[in-house]
Amino acid sequence: MPDGAPVDQPLKVLMTAAEVVPFAKTGGLADVMGSLPKALRQLGLDVRVAMPKYGRIDDARFNLETIGTFDVPFETGVEPVTLKHTMSGPVPVYFIDNARYFNREGIYGYADDGERFIFFCRAALEAVRYLNWQPDIIHCHDWHTAIIPNWLKTIYRADEFFAPVASVYTIHNLAYQGVFGYRILEIAGIAEYGFLYPQIAELANVVDLMGRGIIFADMITTVSETYAREILTPEYGEKLDPLLRDRKERLVGILNGIDYDVYDPRTDPYIAVHYDVHTLDRRIENKIALQREVRLPEDPAVPVLAAISRLTDQKGFDLVAQIIEAVLRQGVQFVLLGTGDQHYHHLFSRIASAYPTQAAVFLTFNTPLAQRIYAGSDIFLMPSRFEPCGLGQMIAMHYGSVPVVRKTGGLADTVQDFDPRTGRGTGFVFIRYDHMDLFAAIIRALETYKYRDVWRSIQVQGMQQDFSWNRSARKYVEVYHKALQYHRGK
């Protein structure tokens, strides 16, 4: 279907994922699951979401209602599920509640994670059968739900209810593949089909759930066009590039959007002062409020550099670590909000104690603080080694914080390097994964920051970008139609 064409046949789509805003979030996957279904509903599709009911999800806070209980066939027996439901704006969300696997505080990080998410998938399928709501498409996200396309082509293939259902599989991050041993095949009830990747030595004797999503889905998507090309190469393919190359005609890159209802500096409930591109002068009050909150000297002139991220090697924090002291010697302030690898926790805690008037470090997950940092910082650092899409840089631009990014994946697709000759650009981009190249990009940003009008024009260009879901949601509709065609053997 061409861009902009109306959707005449409303499709029924079940989305399955491990995290969904506002119920559970560790990263961008949750943002997408909170916003893409809404955008598709606005196009007239009947999209519904299924997720696990983690212990931390408060029934009363989210008005969860029990629909009923049923038994899910699992391994050799059955496992009971209580199916719950709420509305997230216009989107019906179903929760799989089961004491054995999900009545725990955390989302991930348990020894039985593989089994937990296999169970969730089985229960999600049985839930729609229980509801007698037959989707046209099941849209699965990341390794946690990647077994579903595999099942639709095996144990559910001859099942009357599921046989017509096509599957779409979205890779949000190829680095997390859900790799388990043979036992998981038994748990999933597909041991008779055995291992699958004799051609890839590292995968010959393991169950790689991400790989199964790629092999069996009718269509595969990932979250930016550049990343869709990159993952076909050994450098970015995380050992699955041969599988992706085999199915490359089924693979489409669709850039994520951000939810403008949530991320809007005109209405954001967490920030001190509301503003937009016409009232950008007011933004400075958010900067002062941020400096006060994070206990750094209140100074409108000093550039505030920020990062909000998982603290992992993927995000380029090894580069940041190598240059942060040299950057601080430029007299800037640095605000970091993130959680992740322990060695980064130690390293940045040390920086915060060594530079108490320049560096503020918060090793927590805190959404309100994140939004105040987007609204109050001048420069947003995202020097990722690889980046499937990245939402941080888009949110930052939308809030007038100018990103410094490496040219990879979705960062390459969303940030245009500032060119002082033309005055065009939305950020500062470097290419090689090298700490000196990052340093040079930061210095370019700091030099440009001295010219207030130029800086303002970069902020304005960033704020005027369209990062809404409008265009991308339509591309998913096209993918759904293609998936159905493939599924029907056309």
Give residues in contact with ligand ADP (CB under 6 A).
Answer: 27-29, 31, 173, 308-310, 337-339, 365-367, 370, 389-392, 395
Which of 265/338 has CB closer to ligand ADP? 338
Side-chain half-sphere exposure of 480, counting CA atoms within 13 A: 25
Rounded distance between C-alpha atoms, residue 153 and residue 147, angstroms: 10
Which of 64/389 has CB closer to ligand ADP? 389
Would you say 171 and 165 are in contact if contact means Cβ atoms under 8 Å apart?
A: no
Q: What is the nearest approach in angstroms of ligand ADP to the Cβ of residue 384?
A: 8
Q: DSSP E strands: which ranges in 341-413?
A: 359-362, 379-382, 402-406
Rounded distance between C-alpha atoms, residue 307 and residue 256, angstroms: 20
- Residue given tokens 């090793």 in the structure block: 363
Q: What is the nearest approach in angstroms of ligand ADP to the Cβ of residue 469?
A: 14
Residue 452 identity (one-letter amino acid): R
Would you say 315 and 382 are in contact if contact means Cβ atoms under 8 Å apart?
A: yes
Tell whether the torsion through CA atoms of 245, 387, 35 and 85 is positive or negative: positive
Q: What is the nearest approach in angstroms of ligand ADP to the Cβ of residue 489?
A: 36
Residue 68 identity (one-letter amino acid): G
Which of 167/309 has CB closer to ligand ADP? 309
Which of 36/308 has CB closer to ligand ADP? 308
Which of 366/457 has CB closer to ligand ADP? 366
Q: What is the nearest approach in angstroms of ligand ADP to the Cβ of residue 418?
A: 21
- Residue given tokens 């050992």 in the structure block: 239
Which of 52/392 has CB closer to ligand ADP? 392
Residue 251 identity (one-letter amino acid): L
Cis ω for the linkage preceding 149 (within 30 of 0)? no
SS3 431: coil
Which of 203/335 has CB closer to ligand ADP? 335
Q: Quick one: DSSP state of residue 106?
A: -
Longest dimension (CA), the chain: 69
Would you say 2 and 36 are in contact if contact means Cβ atoms under 8 Å apart?
A: no
| Tokens at 277, concatenated | 């591109």
Q: What is the nearest approach in angstroms of ligand ADP to the Cβ of residue 351?
A: 17
Q: What is the nearest approach in angstroms of ligand ADP to the Cβ of residue 485?
A: 30
Would you say 41 and 93 are in contact if contact means Cβ atoms under 8 Å apart?
A: no
Q: Which residue is nearest to ligand ADP (CB)?
A: 28
Tell whether the torsion through CA atoms of 281, 282, 288 and 294 is positive or negative: negative
Tell whether the torsion through CA atoms of 198, 199, 202 and 203 is positive or negative: negative
Q: What is the nearest approach in angstroms of ligand ADP to the Cβ of residue 132?
A: 35
Rounded distance between C-alpha atoms, residue 53 and residue 58, angstroms: 9
Q: What is the nearest approach in angstroms of ligand ADP to the Cβ of residue 127?
A: 26
Residue 240 identity (one-letter amino acid): L
Rounded distance between C-alpha atoms, residue 393 and residue 378, angstroms: 12
Q: What is the nearest approach in angstroms of ligand ADP to the Cβ of residue 135?
A: 26
Which of 35/167 has CB closer to ligand ADP? 35
As a whole number of Å, the end-to-end CA separation of the chain is: 16
Q: What is the nearest approach in angstroms of ligand ADP to the Cβ of residue 391?
A: 4
Which of 104/310 has CB closer to ligand ADP? 310
Would you say 129 and 161 are in contact if contact means Cβ atoms under 8 Å apart?
A: yes
Which of 310/444 has CB closer to ligand ADP? 310
Q: What is the nearest approach in angstroms of ligand ADP to the Cβ of residue 338?
A: 5
Which of 70/433 has CB closer to ligand ADP? 433
Of 49, 30, 53, 60, the closest CA to residue 102 belongs to 53
Q: What is the nearest approach in angstroms of ligand ADP to the Cβ of residue 340?
A: 9
Region for residue 132 given its phi and psi (left: phi exceeds 0; alpha: psi -120 to 50; beta: otherwise) = left
Which of 107/395 has CB closer to ligand ADP? 395
Rounded distance between C-alpha atoms, residue 450 and residue 283, angstroms: 17
